[in-house]
Amino acid sequence: MVDTKTIREKCETRLASMQAVRQPFEQDWQEIFQHTLPARGLVQMSNRNANNVNTQRRANTASHDSKGARAARVLTNGMQSGLNSQAVPWFKLGVAGDPDMLEFEPVKVWMAEVERLIYKLFATTNFYDASKTGYAELGTIGAEACIMLEHSEYRAVCHALTAGEYWIATDEGLRTDTLYRRSLLTTMQMVRSYDYAKLSLTCRTAYENGNYQTLFPVIHAIERRRERDPDKTDARNKPYASIVWEEGQTDKNILLRESGYDTKPFWAPRWETTSNEVYSASSPGFYALPDLREMQLAARRRGRAMDLLVKPPMKAPIGMQGSKLRLDPGSITFGTAMDMDKVGPMFELGYQSLGAIRDEREAIRRDVDECFHVDLFMAISQMEGVQPRNDLELTLRDAEKFTQLGPVVDRVNIEKLEVAIDRAFSILQSLGQIPPAPPELQGQPLQIDFISMLAQAQRASQNTAIERAARFVGFVAGIFPDAAIKFDAEQAIDEFATGTGTPPKIIRSDEVVAQMKEQMQQQAQAAQAAQMAPAARDGAQAAELLSRTDVGNGTSMLQQLAGV
pLDDT in tens, 451-461: 887 777 666 65
Q: What is the DSSP letter of 446?
A: E
Question: How does pLDDT run across 365-416, given as a tens digit for each residue?
Answer: 889 988 998 877 765 445 555 455 555 566 556 566 566 777 888 899 999 9
Confidence of residue 2 (pLDDT cuts 50, 70, 90): low
Is 534's pLDDT higher than 70? no
Is 466's pLDDT higher than 90? no
Mean pLDDT for 424-441 is 92
pLDDT of residue 455: 73
Task: Name the phi and psi angles at 340, rounded to 5.
Answer: -65, -30
Q: What pTM did the predictor assign?
A: 0.77
Is 119's pLDDT higher than 70? yes
Burial pattern 272-311, b for ≥16 Cβ within 10 A else e, equals: ebeeeebbbeebbbbbbbebbebbbebbebbeebeebeee
Is 331's pLDDT higher than 50? yes
Helix or strand or coil: residue 92?
strand
Is 50's pLDDT higher than 50? no
Helix or strand or coil: residue 37?
coil
pLDDT of residue 416: 97
Q: Which residue has the higher pLDDT, 397 or 129?
A: 129
pLDDT of residue 489: 79
Confidence of residue 262 (pLDDT cuts 50, 70, 90): very high
Q: Using an 8 Å Cβ cutoff, are 44 and 31 in contact? A: no
Lowest mean pLDDT among 51-60, 140-149, 218-227, 532-541: 51-60
pLDDT of residue 342: 72
Closest CA to 86 of 95, 77, 97: 77
Q: Where are the domains of the chain?
A: 7-55+126-278, 460-507, 511-562
Question: How does pLDDT run across 5-35, given as a tens digit for each residue?
Answer: 999 999 999 999 999 999 999 999 999 999 9
The whole-angstrom separation of Cα 148 and Cα 497 is: 32
